[in-house]
Structure 1
């Protein structure tokens, strides 16, 4: 193990570096960050190549980790995906060959920047400084998470926003903004008012005529900028001349517009949470409104469990229980405009039906009745031919509640390794991969993990594999003796298998019994002779041909690598045989004998219990599969099966698990659209989690549901033998009013800095609906000119695929801060068996004349989980990281055609 440079702080200095007392906050964020961390603490930044000391500081107002190397660098706290400390980051410490003594001061920050995952590895000088950093970062992230979720009042949200943008605008740190500062701020905020209008607003905020704005003036200035006239118009329409929104008007709004099915008691509880009594007294359940309330609210967030704000369920209980706190009658209370705005932005009015993260599906049904979140080539974080194999792929997938990960296992020098066979991808040990799976398997979800393994190693290393899995997974690993097993009639449920790890791999002895040839049932002893064109080795000739074509496209790259390998081998031979004539070329190797074939280890067979891999022999009455038999279909094979007999596949999938995976020619790790295979009942529809494309987005939207458990109950039409459900075909119209957007993000450079130029974005919103292949083309109304809003400048099918319908709004010029469209669009779609869960809606905010660029912001949801009515959609970047303040205000409705 290597040692590091001398500690960045001496022992004497370290003794003085105690956490500073928490000061009385002047704004919600101040209470969480000691002055020591705001001023900066020297820490070692560690990578595989070097270790270097930098001054790292936390800016609580802008919400950033900041340090300066060759350039000023920063990480927005909301971009952090994970914080790993100590033993959780041991994999990197051992990779960098650093001693164990650094482990209890080691902090790894995983974050997203420039479209990809990044890691920052830091070693603090003392344990005390490490703890200060770790605790403070987690607190700051928790606050920003609450802001993004809408679980704070509008005042709290505004306070966080104001401090962030005040700090960014006050470049000279003199606590004042002159007119030029305000003009630059407006450009950053994507606003381009006329100079005269901006001057008028500036003078209105400068109440003391000092020629500059202090923080109080600044808050008045931005309040006018952030006005929501579209919400005020809606509110005035609802109150209809009254002084406030009464409960009767609120209930009517919830029933008619929001399509709420809540009971009257539940609606009363929500109403009182945002209402004020007739005497102007704030009700106990309403969010904090005063500056003191805000400060106390923030301190309670950061103080830990004892002072934590009670969870939503408990708060609802106390609101509904008269004995808990005396609440005013709903008859004497009203909701103000501010309270109504808070409600519209809150979790009580979430666009996503499952926003509370609760498990609401029945988890006691057999495994085949669920969609299971699945990953393809999980160990890769890039290219299929030359990418890097790493445990990071497993960690990322599992933390996003993926429940099926993949291992491609080959013989290593001393133990089995994981990599993409017959490619130039790097290798990772099976033990490291299993350790990562074991560590993160049940962090996001308690339900079972299925390891889909391609095993291409020899019997001795198969034995090693079994030993490793038993050591790493312990009692969580499902295994049973081969002899004397009871016959399985029905597969167990996710509830039955909570906390368990299942292995899915080919059982070659089962294949033998099915009458396959020796060539088909054997395992190669040399990985170089094994075909691994995709996930399973039973791919058809069509896919093999596609793989060969793809390999030919990469031949120049592979040729270069092979040339380097040959040079290295020649150099190695010279070292091993110093006396040999090094100038002579290597003699060609003797023709190799046919590779001996060996059977699989019986110990490995014992791990195959509920998920036994077999070859697909067709779907007909002649072929019988045991409930535990699982086969895998490549994308092309699955497409062929769908074309020839989709109903046969649906019937098979009612009682058996089937896995699909991307075709071998997707060498860039792109994805198919998974709902194509979900519509046939396939459960394990594997995608490349490292690629943030439409397929990833749809998969993410599906498994945001059901408390992000990674298991989603399939629609009834795909679980029942009642053929009448699948015979039901209905036509509908999705009516969406795109009302406005709030604080759209600016494009950023590779360092994450906003690109501030003289131009202001001209945004529009594109809405697309993605429908499974139930029919050959989307349903369209008879009279498209009246009932359907086609894309601008074309017919109803312009810019759409066969199963996608796309429309977009007009463009709002020179305003990316609070553009208002108030434009209605209509998207036709058809359903089979009322399966709204398999129809997905995507909202993309784009720039005029940059339609082909990555969208500024996106949101995607299953139609089955999208609440109707007036909703604020949380907006995300291309990697589905949520923006802190950006939202899209829409009204959603569905009508039968």
Structure 2
């Protein structure tokens, strides 16, 4: 499977750009390491009028706009933005056209079974290059042997295998046994996943993840579908800005005063499309004062230091939710010892004690526990929007 990405030499050798931000401007050389390009990290490439709001916010000349491009990318799980101004219009076009090529390559490997397999291969190949430090295409496993890339792929497939997916697939694939028919796939979407699609949309979704040789959905295709954006928890239209951005913020701001004057707690329905501000509030009898803000300690992921900041009463009144300190989880204990996990579920009902139930305990398996249990709750409450599951 070829993974060759051909880009202009200016991207490989490097170009001196003006890197701009709200605080400063500096000349820096940027280059692309084609062998280490993470196609998954590129999320958006903006040029022209799409970057105008940044230019105006930075109070920079309109002369920069034709040579300005902005890259939105993900680094260590965080979204970051890079604003660059090319020295010439020619270099701007070279970089933008080549970055678009890389960006389109990312979108090219997102959908469909074949593309998802290709995407997985590319990501695995990138991981391999990062750990193959000496470049001999082998990893030393121990003094008795080593791993090559094929072994690495087999190992990756082994640790990703989920027994519960096999069981689910086998329970659905009644007609063929080794493949899922269109009717079986549709029954799963409608009756289990609670999908509500047009008839032709079920067909498109099915054939998108079908094995091209079998013409039906295999266990591999079914697994890819479950992990794809087509089966995401969030609606696809909500991955971008979908609200009306032309209205003033004040079309929706719920202040702390609304909570103080309310005779009962506001329901989730009444808060739809509203903006809630969360922060530290001043005491009710204070006109102005200081609040403590917790900041992570740079030398420790657990410890936090607090800083006192001055706050006005007007700002404090806008805060709808006060911040409650959460010390976090001690991950040092999932990662370094075998645990016996269980799940506790609590149903919180207004005016009543919480109903608690828990699963059985899985012994010596904190890595991949499976419970296969159904917890049933019986309760009486007229306002279902105020019932919470924890």
User: Which among 358, 373, 376 is matched to residue 789 of structure 1?
Assistant: 358
RMSD of the alignment, in Å?
5.2
Q: Which moved more, 1:819-828 or 1:335-344?
A: 819-828
Q: Deviations over 1:655-696 (max 9, x none)?
A: xx99865577176799xxxxxxxxxxxxxxx989xx9x99xx
- Per chain length, whose mean CA-contact separation is higher, i.e. which structure has more relative contact order (CA < 8 Å, sep 6+)? 1
Tell me which residue corresponds to 1:77: 41
Tell me which residue corresponds to 1:245: 180
1:229 and 2:191 aligned: no
Tell me which residue corresponds to 2:302: none
Tell me which residue corresponds to 2:313: none
Q: Deviations over 1:209-236 (max 9, x none)?
A: xx552x4554344333433433223323
Residue 242 of structure 1 aligns to a residue whose secondary structure is coil
1:665 and 2:281 aligned: yes
User: Which among 130, 135, 152 is matched to residue 168 of structure 1?
Assistant: 130
For residues 50 and 261 of structure 2, the distance between their equivalents in structure 1, rounded to whole angstroms, comes to 44
Q: TM-score, normalised by structure 2?
A: 0.62
**Bigger radius of gyration:** 1
For residues 136 and 264 of structure 1, the distance between their equivalents in structure 2, rounded to whole angstroms, comes to 40
1:178 and 2:153 aligned: no
Residue 168 of structure 2 aligns to a residue whose secondary structure is helix
Gaps of 5+ in 1: 1-24, 65-75, 181-194, 204-210, 284-333, 359-398, 402-443, 454-503, 505-629, 671-685, 695-746, 748-758, 793-808, 843-897
Q: Deviations over 1:10-68 (max 9, x none)?
A: xxxxxxxxxxxxxxx812xx44744542454343334544523324324465417xxxx
1:315-394, aligned counterparts within 5 Å?
334-352=216-234, 354-355=235-236, 357=237
8 Å CA contact 2:169, 2:219 repeated in 1: yes
Residue 223 of structure 1 aligns to a residue whose secondary structure is helix
User: Once the 2 structures are TM-superposed, how far is the Cα of residue 132 of structure 1 from its aligned partner?
Assistant: 3.5
Paired residue total: 344
User: Which among 323, 326, 350 is matched to residue 775 of structure 1?
Assistant: 350
8 Å CA contact 1:778, 1:828 repeated in 2: no
Structure 1 residues 777 and 151: alpha-carbon distance in aligned structure 2, compared to 1, 3 A threshold = farther
Tell me which residue corresponds to 1:219: 153
Q: Deviations over 1:69-90 (max 9, x none)?
A: xxxxxxx725x5x544455545
Q: Deviations over 1:785-808 (max 9, x none)?
A: xxx21799xxxxxxxxxxxxxxxx
Tell me which residue corresponds to 2:11: 37
Structure 1 residues 254 and 765: alpha-carbon distance in aligned structure 2, compared to 1, 3 A threshold = same
For residues 364 and 112 of structure 2, the distance between their equivalents in structure 1, rounded to whole angstroms, comes to 28
1:159 and 2:124 aligned: no
User: Once the 2 structures are TM-superposed, how far is the Cα of residue 164 of structure 1 from its aligned partner?
Assistant: 1.9
1:82-121, aligned counterparts within 5 Å?
83-86=45-48, 88-89=50-51, 100-110=62-72, 118-121=80-83
Gaps of 5+ in 2: 283-290, 295-317
1:857-876, aligned counterparts within 5 Å?
none
Structure 1 residues 662 and 262: alpha-carbon distance in aligned structure 2, compared to 1, 3 A threshold = closer
Structure 1 residues 43 and 790: alpha-carbon distance in aligned structure 2, compared to 1, 3 A threshold = same
For residues 36 and 761 of structure 1, the distance between their equivalents in structure 2, rounded to whole angstroms, comes to 50
8 Å CA contact 1:635, 1:663 repeated in 2: no
Q: TM-score, normalised by structure 1?
A: 0.31
Residue 93 of structure 2 aligns to a residue whose secondary structure is helix
Residue 127 of structure 2 aligns to a residue whose secondary structure is helix
